[in-house]
Amino acid sequence: MIVVMKYDATAKQIGGVIKRIEELGFKPHMSTGEKKTIVGMVGNGKKVDPDLFMALDGVDAVVPVLKPFKLASREFKSEPTIIDVNGFQIGGKQIAVMAGPCSVESLEQTMEAAVRVAKAGARFLRGGAFKPRSSPYAFQGLGEEGLKIMAKCREETGLSLVTEIMSPQHVDLLCKYTDIIQIGVRNMQNYSLLEAVGKTTIPVLLKRGLMSTIEEWLMSAEYILANGNPNVILCERGIRTFEKYTRNTLDIAAVSLVKNLSHLPVVVDPSHATGIRDLVGPMSRVGIAAGADGLIIEVHPEPDKALSDGAQSLYPDQFDDLMLSLNGIAEAMGRTI
Amino acid sequence: MIVVMKYDATAKQIGGVIKRIEELGFKPHMSTGEKKTIVGMVGNGKKVDPDLFMALDGVDAVVPVLKPFKLASREFKSEPTIIDVNGFQIGGKQIAVMAGPCSVESLEQTMEAAVRVAKAGARFLRGGAFKPRSSPYAFQGLGEEGLKIMAKCREETGLSLVTEIMSPQHVDLLCKYTDIIQIGVRNMQNYSLLEAVGKTTIPVLLKRGLMSTIEEWLMSAEYILANGNPNVILCERGIRTFEKYTRNTLDIAAVSLVKNLSHLPVVVDPSHATGIRDLVGPMSRVGIAAGADGLIIEVHPEPDKALSDGAQSLYPDQFDDLMLSLNGIAEAMGRTI
Amino acid sequence: MIVVMKYDATAKQIGGVIKRIEELGFKPHMSTGEKKTIVGMVGNGKKVDPDLFMALDGVDAVVPVLKPFKLASREFKSEPTIIDVNGFQIGGKQIAVMAGPCSVESLEQTMEAAVRVAKAGARFLRGGAFKPRSSPYAFQGLGEEGLKIMAKCREETGLSLVTEIMSPQHVDLLCKYTDIIQIGVRNMQNYSLLEAVGKTTIPVLLKRGLMSTIEEWLMSAEYILANGNPNVILCERGIRTFEKYTRNTLDIAAVSLVKNLSHLPVVVDPSHATGIRDLVGPMSRVGIAAGADGLIIEVHPEPDKALSDGAQSLYPDQFDDLMLSLNGIAEAMGRTI
Amino acid sequence: MIVVMKYDATAKQIGGVIKRIEELGFKPHMSTGEKKTIVGMVGNGKKVDPDLFMALDGVDAVVPVLKPFKLASREFKSEPTIIDVNGFQIGGKQIAVMAGPCSVESLEQTMEAAVRVAKAGARFLRGGAFKPRSSPYAFQGLGEEGLKIMAKCREETGLSLVTEIMSPQHVDLLCKYTDIIQIGVRNMQNYSLLEAVGKTTIPVLLKRGLMSTIEEWLMSAEYILANGNPNVILCERGIRTFEKYTRNTLDIAAVSLVKNLSHLPVVVDPSHATGIRDLVGPMSRVGIAAGADGLIIEVHPEPDKALSDGAQSLYPDQFDDLMLSLNGIAEAMGRTI
């Protein structure tokens, strides 16, 4: 950490910073320019909260030198993490394709989606049983009944399951039914929830918050890792910006960047990132070109009757075409689909 | 709701929209221009999810005509909501001043803050016992021990208490100790939590999410109201933008706007909105000038030793000065402090 | 256009809207729901400024039904625009690769870059002679001397030239030297400049503003087209968001979307979009996967001595590798490089 | 400037940084922690472009220690700048109120606005003769004819004039007619324009760009100052964020902050910041409470017939009421109106 003093900082204020550094068990390292004094902390490798220095008188800025995440970093673990789900290696050579409806609405609807996406080559069924909806008046999901439907689809199709959790009280219930637990965008910094799933070993798909920085996203992964669960899959699904033509803005550079910063696998969600059916195909190709390890795509047997997210759900025939179109890009990237 | 068809929409696609409108129990109302066809829903006052139409073929845009929140709106309840907390009327003529440390660190620290802010004229003590921190390695709060400390401060000073909840499992615990439960910025769309506090009648201070629109904020209030708890206080605390000089960007126009859209009281948090001690005073004055019903301000007996948020915490002497400086503005706005 | 009245709009206010619609030569079309009245304009195809209605009493919202751009739209011209520059078809099957240094610093530096990028397969030399810099104390470019250097490089290598314009007074000068004029990100809504280049027929590379919507970007293209110059190339180069890890956020979905909305060719600038050398390769691949017609990439013979943008400039050897790596993706997209 | 090396930086890479520092005439100052090496530049007070170091191998981050603006800073000039316009002191005790229509449409309309705002207490007439419009099909202003109309209004009412410039070619023309030249939001980084007005001594009202940071805004002021014109007035008029309820988001903290960072006077534009007539009053009060030195407000004799910005323009009667309502706040802030 580097502490930059204000241009008119007094000797007493500089002394205060030095004292605090020593109290924390670090060595201060002064550097006095013509205009400003800078005090570095020469350290013991421990992380220190920058706020502890920003609060001191005469301090202009505090610059962290070490990244705040550790277990999630490539510096900590240089080889990529591969997560085995029922024999499929997420983070391996093959792109993990997760597909299915936004909400589990009925056995028929979910089974039809499952059969079709399995046939087209997907290996995971996505579907929501507990649905976070911005309106209390909108469809809230079927709850445990929805989980049972998903389990039947797994039996029938062999697809592994991905579904969202909304409350720490549901961890046991979800572990009973699903193969991967999804932490949704609104709960990325719900620390009670992160701790609860961190105390299991079930793979966790951690969606990036709508307005969360890359660093905050990795810090939320760190919460899960630090609680003992090493099986974290990151998911980029678009951030909120001023642009309103698309539902969100896919931060595709974040995918390539996080593959460098972290050893964790990264999945792209082209459906939520854009909210527009016609962009799901292009953004799937883009995801693979960026180096993503997987895709999570909304597919509904009848999007025009979907209870949620119909406008961004693919028709099963469109999903068939999409899967075929991905082969070339995957191959160019040294991957398979 | 108005459905705008694409310029090349076919008669069959327009027919599909009309059929869906009729299925939902509304009357369609066509309007055919030279270039585009528009279909309105003449209604029964029920709310319909726009997604149900965006998913249909040939649809270019769907325009909601009614606001998605109802119980929170001025249209539903025109007179302002006033919430009585131990005899203080939040939303009444007097500005509700809530002050205290970010975190409850010890009895001494919290009591000293409480005594000082009470003496300066605050009527509520703020303080965190359960702390949401972006790093798993940062101080996480004292938990129930912290709540007990706050209760002792209430006994001593007569201040009412405001503290944050992080998990639905803690509702009963918090109701036992605090006078107002705070929903923090990261949990504004934690629907399990909103439902849990909605089933009590304790006043809830609902902070606007970092990334949340005014409409989403009011929809989260709607969740609490729709679950039966009418005692919601809104809190604007800055949104995330591209500007990094301040920690967040205080959306002051939202305060005046929400006072028009909704009957609920609104409080401003100048400490989190800016993250800079020197701006807490100006932004407190600004909050009152915008028509806010209260202020929530971080004050710490020794900000330079605070375990969190020291850089934005006022020294008690600064808080004294601030309170004095607010009289003139409050008076100009027809309020008292 | 559709005018949505406030829920308590009076008959007089509705009458005012109808009168204004008639004054403008349109027919009003009323639709009265249980809660709100809506007035549509059935039209003559002319565009009307929504502001003219927002200003009327009793109006809650105005919804444009027609897109505000016309000449730039696919509805106006369905086949893609192909722009011939010295025999190269921008918008055709072959990806247009533009490469070179941020600033023209000297004949040696520019020539070395030109020779290397030409050898690797680029067809256009980019380079700045007039440099917009956020500091008045930073290197401002060589001016006409820089243009002469670029012209020498064209003679030597056969590359076509792309360079930025900063003032309407320079149009003639730039037309004398360059093959494509670039409108930079800070000037996307400099209408004097858009008009000035619109009155020529030189191809214009129009960069999207840092915080400009897709619609505003296409409206700026419309300015150039409406002034008579049909040769507009759009360039996505990253938008400003809250994320600071990368210099900007590449809005890759905008590329695929604009290819649908407009007939104009689209180029991606992975260098400015990220500001990070290691991301230029991945984002070039991503651009092609999104359907872009070209790439504009910063390459410098000695990035560590560059007077500007060194951190995002490729070494010539890296550019060689990048060009090779693009073949597979281009082929998968049915393009050549 | 501080250069933070990557955790695996080699001795050769560190040597490269040291060499570059010495080449630039600074002294390097090493600080080697357990994990990372940091190299400071102990300086000669000159400013150095951080890009020069970001481009070097092995560099993780570059942290500027000195602010990039100088002439605009309080460190350079501690007493506030007061700009005399026809005897009125902008930046003095009295709040500068500038009011008038968005566009000059006719002599009658402008004169009526001028007479009314003068009577209510405004001291400056705002109005646009050259209008930047996002559509080439919208009203573009009356040009010099509009300037002549404004001059007649000055003769009649004694109001000083503020009007916008769009092209460096118009500097002489505008200096002939107006008292203050406005640089609009889209031209804040139009450096040709900044240089052109910087070479005069006419007071310049510099609006903050929609997408511009506080630092970039001050750097644009620096351009004007560095070219020799000391008469710069800053204007905060809302920034672009994800929130769409208001046209823009008024960054009110920026006003208080810039008053600390810079000696230049600051004006608030509540009309463009919100785009909503009902918010102009509250945001005017907020501006004064934040410490602004002036307000610039759109007033139109008949907003419902305005050719632009009608929805945010006040009726003259509303402006009368607003002016009266500002007295109390101004007094509470130790100002007059």
Per-residue model confidence as pLDDT tens digits over A34-78: 677 888 777 655 667 777 788 788 888 887 777 788 899 998 999
In angstroms, what separates the C-alpha of B202 from chain C's closest C-alpha?
A: 32
Determine how β-strand D37-42 pairs with β-strand D2-5. antiparallel
Instruction: Give me chain A's average pLDDT, please.
Output: 92
* Both structure tokens of D16: 């490269």
Q: How far apart are CA B313 and CA B307, in angstroms?
A: 11
Phi then psi dihedrals of residue B164, to 5 deg: -90, 145
Given a cut of 90, whether residue B7 has pLDDT beyond it is no
Given a cut of 90, whether residue C129 has pLDDT beyond it is yes
Q: CB under 8 Å to D155, separation ≥6 — which residues?
A: none
Task: pLDDT band for C335, please (50, 70, 90 cuts).
Answer: very high
Nearest CA in chain B to C42: B33
Nearest to B54 among A49, A166, A310 (CB): A310
> What residues in B contact C45, CB-CB < 8 Å?
34-35
The strand order across the sheet containing B2-5 reads B27-32, B37-42, B2-5, B59-63
Choosing among D12, D277, D304, which should be mutated to test the C contact, i.e. which has the most C CBs within 10 A?
A: D304
The C-alpha R_g of chain A, in whole angstroms, comes to 23
Q: How many CB atoms lie within 10 A of CB D321?
A: 13
- Tell whether A289 lies on the interface with C, counting CB pairs under 8 A: yes
- In terms of phi and psi (left: phi > 0; alpha: psi -120 to 50; beta: otherwise), the region of A164 is beta
Q: Do B63 and C4 touch (CB under 8 A)?
A: yes
Given a cut of 80, whether residue D97 has pLDDT beyond it is yes
- Tell whether D242 lies on the interface with A, counting CB pairs under 8 A: yes
Q: What pLDDT sits at residue B255?
A: 98
DSSP designation for A200: S
Read out DSSP for A228-294? T---EEEEE--B--S--SSSSB-BHHHHHHHHHHBSS-EEE-HHHHH--HHHHHHHHHHHHHHT-SE
Proportion of chain A in helix, strand, coil states, percent, rounded to 5: 40, 20, 40
Q: How many CB atoms lie within 10 A of CB A248?
A: 22
Contact D148, D155 (CB under 8 A): no
Least confident of A56-60, A86-90, A109-113, A180-184: A56-60
Q: How far is CA D194 from CA C237, D171, D185, D205, D234, in A?
A: 24, 11, 12, 11, 13
Determine how β-strand D232-236 pairs with β-strand D266-268. parallel
Q: Which among D320, D328, D322, D334 is positioned nearest to D291, based on CA atoms?
A: D334
Alpha helices in chain C (DSSP H): 11-23, 51-54, 107-120, 144-157, 171-177, 191-198, 214-226, 252-261, 270-274, 277-290, 316-332
Alpha helices in D24-106 (DSSP H): 51-54
The 10 Å CB-count burial string (b at 16+, else e) for D47-67 is bbbbbbbbbbebbbbbbebbb
* Both structure tokens of B94: 């007097």
In angstroms, what separates the C-alpha of D299 from chain C's closest C-alpha?
A: 12
Nearest to C310 among D16, D55, D309 (CB): D55
- Tell whether B313 lies on the interface with A, counting CB pairs under 8 A: yes
Q: Do D63 and A32 touch (CB under 8 A)?
A: no
> What residues in B contact A49, CB-CB < 8 Å?
135, 138-139, 308
Q: Output B300 or D17, whichever has higher pLDDT.
A: B300
Instruction: Give me chain C's average pLDDT, please.
Output: 92
Q: Please tell me whether residue A106 adopts helix, strand or coil conformation.
A: coil
- Tell whether D230 lies on the interface with A, counting CB pairs under 8 A: no
Given a cut of 60, whether residue D271 has pLDDT beyond it is yes
Beta bridge partners of residue C126, listed in sequence order: C162
DSSP designation for D168: G
Q: Output A324 or C20, whichever has higher pLDDT.
A: A324
Contact A28, A40 (CB under 8 A): yes
> What residues in B contact D262, CB-CB < 8 Å?
none
Contact C62, C54 (CB under 8 A): yes
> What residues in A contact B306, CB-CB < 8 Å?
51, 55
Determine how β-strand D124-126 pairs with β-strand D160-165. parallel
- Tell me the mean pLDDT in the region B328-335: 97
Task: pLDDT band for C266, please (50, 70, 90 cuts).
Answer: very high
Given a cut of 60, whether residue A318 has pLDDT beyond it is yes
Given a cut of 60, whether residue A202 has pLDDT beyond it is yes
Q: CB under 8 Å to A146, separation ≥6 — which residues?
A: A103, A104, A127, A128, A129, A130, A163
Choosing among A210, A211, A243, A336, which should be mutated to test the C contact, i.e. which has the most C CBs within 10 A?
A: A243
Percent over 90 (pLDDT), chain A: 72
pLDDT in tens, C49-62: 777 788 788 888 88
Given a cut of 70, whether residue B270 has pLDDT beyond it is yes
Nearest to A286 among C239, C243, C286 (CB): C286
Contact B303, B314 (CB under 8 A): yes
Q: Output C47 or C272, whichever has higher pLDDT.
A: C272
pLDDT in tens, B198-209: 999 999 999 999
Given a cut of 70, whether residue D40 has pLDDT beyond it is yes
Given a cut of 60, whether residue B287 has pLDDT beyond it is yes
In angstroms, what separates the C-alpha of A314 from chain B's closest C-alpha?
A: 10
Task: pLDDT band for D43, please (50, 70, 90 cuts).
Answer: low
Q: How many CB atoms lie within 10 A of CB C163?
A: 24
Task: pLDDT band for C171, please (50, 70, 90 cuts).
Answer: very high
* Both structure tokens of B7: 């310029």
DSSP designation for B45: S
Percent over 90 (pLDDT), chain C: 72
Task: pLDDT band for B29, please (50, 70, 90 cuts).
Answer: confident
Q: How far apart are CA B38 and CA B58, in angstroms?
A: 11
Q: How far apart are CA D204 and CA D194, in angstroms?
A: 10
Given a cut of 80, whether residue C259 has pLDDT beyond it is yes
- Residue B93's H or E segment, with its range, is none
Given a cut of 70, whether residue A139 has pLDDT beyond it is yes
Given a cut of 70, whether residue D45 has pLDDT beyond it is no
pLDDT in tens, D192-218: 999 999 999 999 999 999 989 999 999
Contact C78, C263 (CB under 8 A): yes
- Tell me the mean pLDDT in the region A279-294: 98
Beta bridge partners of residue C181, listed in sequence order: C163, C204
Q: What pLDDT sits at residue A234?
A: 98
Q: What pLDDT sits at residue B113?
A: 97
Q: What pLDDT sits at residue A102?
A: 94
- Tell whether C273 lies on the interface with A, counting CB pairs under 8 A: yes
Task: pLDDT band for D143, please (50, 70, 90 cuts).
Answer: very high
* Both structure tokens of C56: 């009327």
Q: How many CB atoms lie within 10 A of CB D20?
A: 22
Q: What pLDDT sits at residue A137?
A: 85
Q: Do D2 and A43 touch (CB under 8 A)?
A: no
CA A139 to chain centre: 25
Angle at C326 between CA C321 and CA C327, to 5 degrees: 110
Least confident of A56-60, B88-92, C39-43, C333-337: C39-43
Angle at C209 between CA C319 and CA D136, to 5 degrees: 130
- Tell whether A236 lies on the interface with B, counting CB pairs under 8 A: no
**Residue with the two structure tokens 């705070």:** B182
Q: Residues 49-88, chain D: which have Cβ within 8 Å of C? A: 49, 51-52, 54-57, 68
Q: What pLDDT sits at residue A45?
A: 58
